[in-house]
Structure 1
Amino acid sequence: MGGLGGYWSAISHLSQTVKMGVRRKLAGNMEAARTRQKQIRAVPLPKNL
């Protein structure tokens, strides 16, 4: 059953990679939202709003 160990290590490695990717994506989204808010704040609001 040595193949099973390799299978499990591959799965754990894959899940780690996916977690890292998701974390990176979430961080990127948060950064984008932050910059978007800054841009919105920088734009002066029209008086008729």
Structure 2
Amino acid sequence: MQNSKGQQRPLILFSLFKSTIKLAFKTKKNSNQTQAIKSFSFLSVLSF
């Protein structure tokens, strides 16, 4: 099957998403959500 690349990409996106969530919690602790929102927007752009 040549679909392995297509299956790997969502997995990479998922790990990126997880680290973004971690970052969001970290910035929430520092009461600075702008960075988390920026990272999340960047991730959303990457997924499309």
Identical-residue share of aligned pairs (%): 3
Relative contact order, CA 8 A, sep 6+: which one is greater?
A: 2
Aligned length: 32
Q: Secondary structure at the match of 1:43?
A: coil
* Matching residue of 1:36: 24
Larger Rg: 1
Q: Which runs of 5+ in 1 are unaligned?
A: 1-11, 45-49
Alpha-carbon distance in structure 1 between the residues aligned to 2:7 and 2:22: 22
Q: Which runs of 5+ in 2 are unaligned?
A: 33-48
1:2-17 alignment runs, 5 A limit = 12-13=1-2, 15-17=3-5
RMSD: 1.6
What stretches of structure 1 move > 3 A for 4+ residues in a row?
A: none
TM-score (norm 2): 0.58
